[in-house]
Amino acid sequence: MNTPAGPDGAKTGTPVPDEVPGVDVPDRRGRTGLDRAGRDLDGNPRVRVREVELLSSSWYVLRRTTFDYLRTDGSWSTQERETYDRGNGATVLLYDAERATVLLTRQFRYPVYVNGHPDGLLLETAAGLLDDDDPETAIRREAAEETGYDIGEVRHVFDVYMSPGSVTERLHFFAAPYTADRRTSEGGGLADDGEDIEVVELPFAKALAMIGSGEIADAKTVMLLQWAALSGPFAGRDR
């Protein structure tokens, strides 16, 4: 809190709140008004947003929202939720139907390492945030950066909220074929962003089995591999 000074330099005694980065003044990414999200929602008459507080905008955005909720018994309850907004993203399963292989990545993920994963190195489908791109443009960019492949036609599979209890992210799922002649670089991600990504090609049958063994434990990857087996490019094949 700042206490303003009068004309003679003396404090007036009326404190004024400090300007909050991300609310009153730009945060490190140049954003303001981050406490406005959700205040104008009107799609559900059983929800009335009362207050939105910005808790952090160091990079992604953490908010605490207070709202009234009309319960099924007709009574209103006041509830409070924290939401983590990292933007929406996209992911793609790269597959070679003729050779029955898939192309994955392996990279270190600190959040899983601190939550019991042995080394934090996860096998995953290529993925990334949309930033200012549409989902298909974003996943073409991410596939090229991470795997080194310039992918051709992509198939939209489905969109999923990955952790709806606290994270706002909606992830757009795609699948696309790859062939050796479409590789334009070594991939590996962007070193300036701290990425150090290994490209891993696996027989599809082995990748599917690695779900059961726990060697593949990333949700988006499990979902795309199971989709590929049930109704995607490997549906109906003997494995």
State pLDDT tens for residues 130-156.
999 999 999 999 999 999 999 989 999
| Residue 191 scores a pLDDT above 80 | no
CA angle at 171 for the pair 63 and 216, rounded to the nearest 5°: 110
Taking the whole predicted model, whether its pTM rises above 0.85 is answered as yes
Mean pLDDT of the chain: 92
SS3 205: helix
| Residue 15 scores a pLDDT above 80 | no
Per-residue pLDDT band for 237 (boundaries 50, 70, 90) equals confident
Residues 6+ apart with CB under 8 A from 67: 47, 48, 49, 50, 78, 79, 80, 81
**Whole-angstrom Cα distance, residue 226 to residue 222?**
6
* Arithmetic mean of pLDDT, 197-204: 96
Residues 6+ apart with CB under 8 A from 59: 28, 29
* Arithmetic mean of pLDDT, 156-173: 97
104-130 burial: b if 16+ Cβ within 10 Å, else e: bbebbeeebeeeebeeeebbbbbbbbb
SS3 95: strand
Q: Which two structure tokens, joined as six digits, stand for 217?
A: 């434990």
Taking only the tens place, the pLDDT of each residue in 36-63 is 999 999 999 999 999 999 999 999 999 9
What pLDDT is stored for residue 5 in this prediction? 55
* Arithmetic mean of pLDDT, 91-116: 97
| Residue 192 scores a pLDDT above 90 | no
* Arithmetic mean of pLDDT, 91-100: 97
* Arithmetic mean of pLDDT, 96-103: 97
